[in-house]
Chains A and B, each alone.
Chain A
């Protein structure tokens, strides 16, 4: 036995990893789902804080801000549609229609970008800033944290779309990246629906 460099060590372990995956099926989606549970708990913490603030911390005189409903509602619809378009992209991919899949991914990404643009427009037209009062701070913290998730999602969608090009990493049989991005995107959409309900409607 000779001593080896860490590099060889890790190739051996990668080989082992591939064998584990062959033997047990792909558990990466399971891992991602576990991570999303954790991520969801972060949002749950924020929601709980927001609802408690709302219940026990009255805003100062004249501090109640009515939120415009039109833009966020459009945004909600945009995001929900994007969940369906992503679903369609996944279906096309599994059916071997990589071109169509790429098209649907493009649409999904564009919808995500529209959502972000809408969010920006809303931010710039709001009558309050981050530090104005408790409601304002919580509003920006919640929507901002969610916006970060959408941004990350759009980046992932772009990458996945590029990978569906001929010769790319994704094929009809090997499409973990796409499935992972899809799961993540549905999660981000789901969170938004809850957030919309709590923040705008309640």
Chain B
């Protein structure tokens, strides 16, 4: 049996116009870019909200916006960044674009489901954001929506919030099903699982987490909406309900969710490093097994978010140990990346700068994570800015850095043009300095007891907060070189050629941008996607 030959596809069937990005296109490449652009727009919105937060926190008093608006702002900020930017982009955008290439297919397993999954996102996002403009009616209970807070804050906004998170969860589940089916069922003949580029493994693991944990969040939010709308008492202590059950169910999703946000980034970095260091990925097999170990452990550590919720001692013990164990597979990956770089012919371009910075930031966030897993320490810093610092090092310093690095790396694939390196380095510099300036001080603030999610603070914390706000300003400015870069190069950027990085992974073994059917002929059989510095490179 063979894959379709190119003559099966009429040349003029390749869609050209930009209008296709607004259509219900079934092409995985179009859908991937739809995710990317849509996600980036939401990133700008979420960033503007972060700007409001940091401006408010410039001074100890609540003077820039009202307290209610502050709470609405931080709720919307968190929800947008997680559900509308990171998850859709690091999974949906790069996953849809790359996975069919990596498995040697011409599309995802279920193209129509794929388009549906994407088109759930814009309405959900608009719904969520619109609630912000109805005065005093937006959700105020944070991205975690803990009851009883979420039961006592304005109901309308909370219900809108639940509705849009349900839509986004549905989108994510459909995406996950599609990735699992594509990776397991759609591989080109002869392509064994252990030959796949690592990003496939990352997406397989992530999708397993999505499919197993997102439905639990959906169920939980349905029960929460019953409490709000029908006045049941599932999570309402005054009616005999139990708030801790909500926390268990919520974190059963939301701890895996942090891996849904970071595992794909692990995968992308594992693609970028070997290409720009001209060395094979170190320890492929251990990489695969550590992804699987992280998936498994990721499902049994959720209660480390609940050490102060009256968890019994045995539970604390179990969850501390299980959480600390995650450091093992994560450490294996970390050292594998270092070993990949070791002695390589490293090209320190923008893609590589962001990827290397990812390693640095992530290891810092990982260390504070392991610290937070220790009960005596966590009781001290739980719900303080230390936690905010921790997860921003992971989610921003980790995943967002990788998204930017991936953009520089794959932009020539998407468009056939290279992004400008000078602007890229400026973007990197501003992001790196701004990011560290913004989030490093938050660890000190947290250690000294500044609670998170409060508009006011002790005046003793002013200096560190202002440092953090300056960092946030730099981060805001850093998007300018990126935007300029994308716009300018789209018009007259340097032509990239088909394979500017001399890469061996399958997406580069076709034209840039690729034809609708992905390859002009048969899909190539790539058995050694990381064979750099070996005999294969001569051919490339």
A134:B233 contact, CB within 8 angstroms:
yes
Q: Which of A56-64, A163-171, A193-201 touches B?
A: A56-64
A20:B242 contact, CB within 8 angstroms:
no
The answer, among B176, B214, B231, B248, for a CB contact under 8 Å with A52, is B248
Within 8 A of B (CB), among A1-47: 1-4, 6, 8-17, 19-20, 22-25, 27-28, 30-31, 34-35, 37-46
The answer, among A4, A10, A31, for a CB contact under 8 Å with B109, is A31
- The answer to the question of A49 belonging to the interface, with a C-beta cut-off of 8 Å to chain B, is yes
Contact A131:B232 (CB < 8 A) given known A1-B14, A57-B240, A137-B226 = yes
Query: Bound complex: CA of A53 vs CA of B26, how far in Å?
Result: 45
We find that the number of chain A residues with CB closer than 8 angstroms to chain B is 53
B181:A30 contact, CB within 8 angstroms:
yes
Query: Bound complex: CA of A15 vs CA of B212, how far in Å?
Result: 32
The answer, among A23, A60, A130, for a CB contact under 8 Å with B3, is A23
A residues less than 8 Å from B184 (CB atoms): 30
Query: Bound complex: CA of A55 vs CA of B223, how far in Å?
Result: 19
A6:B110 contact, CB within 8 angstroms:
no
Query: Bound complex: CA of A59 vs CA of B107, how far in Å?
Result: 54
B residues less than 8 Å from A120 (CB atoms): none
Q: Mark B5-31, 1 if CB is under 8 A from A, else 0.
A: 000111111111101100111110000
Chain A residue nearest to B252 in the complex (CB): A45
B24:A49 contact, CB within 8 angstroms:
no
Query: Bound complex: CA of A44 vs CA of B173, how far in Å?
Result: 16
B residues less than 8 Å from A4 (CB atoms): 12-16
Chain B residue nearest to A10 in the complex (CB): B26
Top 7 closest pairs, chain A to chain B, by CB: A6-B23, A45-B216, A3-B16, A12-B13, A137-B232, A27-B185, A42-B215
- The answer to the question of A73 belonging to the interface, with a C-beta cut-off of 8 Å to chain B, is no
Query: Bound complex: CA of A48 vs CA of B223, how far in Å?
Result: 13
A37:B211 contact, CB within 8 angstroms:
yes
- The answer to the question of A85 belonging to the interface, with a C-beta cut-off of 8 Å to chain B, is no
A41:B231 contact, CB within 8 angstroms:
no
A45:B220 contact, CB within 8 angstroms:
yes
Mind listing 24 A-B residue pairs with CB under 8 Å?
Answer: A4-B12, A4-B13, A6-B25, A10-B24, A13-B107, A14-B26, A14-B111, A15-B8, A16-B106, A16-B517, A17-B111, A19-B8, A20-B105, A23-B3, A24-B185, A30-B181, A34-B177, A34-B181, A48-B248, A59-B240, A131-B230, A131-B239, A133-B240, A134-B240
A residues less than 8 Å from B111 (CB atoms): 13-14, 17
Chain B residue nearest to A39 in the complex (CB): B215
A residues less than 8 Å from B109 (CB atoms): 20, 27, 31
B232:A130 contact, CB within 8 angstroms:
yes
Query: Bound complex: CA of A4 vs CA of B27, how far in Å?
Result: 14
Q: Mark B169-200, 1 if CB is under 8 A from A, else 0.
A: 00001001110110011100000000000000
Q: Mark B418-445, 1 if CB is under 8 A from A, else 0.
A: 0000000000000000000000000000
> What 11 new A-B contacts, CB under 8 Å, besides A20-B186, A53-B234, A134-B240?
A1-B14, A1-B16, A6-B24, A16-B9, A16-B107, A22-B1, A23-B1, A30-B185, A31-B181, A53-B242, A131-B232
B211:A34 contact, CB within 8 angstroms:
yes
Q: Which residues of B contact A (CB under 8 A)?
A: 1-4, 8-17, 19-20, 23-27, 105-107, 109-111, 113, 173, 176-178, 180-181, 184-186, 211-216, 218-220, 222-223, 226, 230-234, 239-242, 245, 248-249, 252, 516-517
A45:B242 contact, CB within 8 angstroms:
no
Min CB distance A62 to B, Å, is 13
Query: Bound complex: CA of A172 vs CA of B53, how far in Å?
Result: 63
Q: Which residues of A contact B (CB under 8 A)?
A: 1-4, 6, 8-17, 19-20, 22-25, 27-28, 30-31, 34-35, 37-46, 48-49, 52-53, 56-57, 59-60, 130-131, 133-134, 137-138, 141, 145
Contact A49:B106 (CB < 8 A) given known A57-B240, A133-B240 = no
Min CB distance B445 to A, Å, is 35
Query: Bound complex: CA of A201 vs CA of B161, how far in Å?
Result: 37
A9:B15 contact, CB within 8 angstroms:
yes
A residues less than 8 Å from B234 (CB atoms): 49, 53, 134, 137-138, 141
Which of B219, B230, B234 is most buried by chain A, counting CB atoms within 10 A of its CB? Answer: B219
A residues less than 8 Å from B226 (CB atoms): 137, 141
B residues less than 8 Å from A22 (CB atoms): 1
Which of A2, A11, A14, A24 is most buried by chain B, counting CB atoms within 10 A of its CB? Answer: A24
A134:B239 contact, CB within 8 angstroms:
yes
B residues less than 8 Å from A12 (CB atoms): 9-10, 13, 516
The answer, among A3, A37, A39, A141, for a CB contact under 8 Å with B223, is A141
Min CB distance A107 to B, Å, is 31
B residues less than 8 Å from A48 (CB atoms): 248-249
B13:A41 contact, CB within 8 angstroms:
no
A residues less than 8 Å from B4 (CB atoms): 16, 19, 23
Query: Bound complex: CA of A45 vs CA of B256, how far in Å?
Result: 15
A residues less than 8 Å from B177 (CB atoms): 31, 34-35, 38
B residues less than 8 Å from A2 (CB atoms): 12, 16
A residues less than 8 Å from B242 (CB atoms): 52-53, 56-57, 134
Chain B residue nearest to A51 in the complex (CB): B245
Query: Bound complex: CA of A40 vs CA of B212, how far in Å?
Result: 9
A residues less than 8 Å from B107 (CB atoms): 13, 16-17, 20
Query: Bound complex: CA of A3 vs CA of B19, how far in Å?
Result: 10
Which of A28, A130, A134 is most buried by chain B, counting CB atoms within 10 A of its CB? Answer: A134
A20:B106 contact, CB within 8 angstroms:
yes
A37:B12 contact, CB within 8 angstroms:
no
A residues less than 8 Å from B27 (CB atoms): 9, 13
B residues less than 8 Å from A41 (CB atoms): 211-213, 215-216
A residues less than 8 Å from B213 (CB atoms): 41
Chain A residue nearest to B9 in the complex (CB): A12
Min CB distance A143 to B, Å, is 14
Query: Bound complex: CA of A19 vs CA of B1, how far in Å?
Result: 11
Min CB distance B116 to A, Å, is 13
A34:B180 contact, CB within 8 angstroms:
yes
B residues less than 8 Å from A23 (CB atoms): 1-4
Query: Bound complex: CA of A195 vs CA of B2, how far in Å?
Result: 47
A residues less than 8 Å from B245 (CB atoms): 49, 52-53
Which of B11, B180, B240, B241 is most buried by chain A, counting CB atoms within 10 A of its CB? Answer: B240
The answer, among B8, B14, B15, B181, for a CB contact under 8 Å with A27, is B181
B214:A38 contact, CB within 8 angstroms:
yes
Min CB distance A159 to B, Å, is 18
Min CB distance A144 to B, Å, is 10
B residues less than 8 Å from A45 (CB atoms): 215-216, 219-220, 249, 252
B residues less than 8 Å from A37 (CB atoms): 211-212
The answer, among A27, A44, A53, for a CB contact under 8 Å with B216, is A44
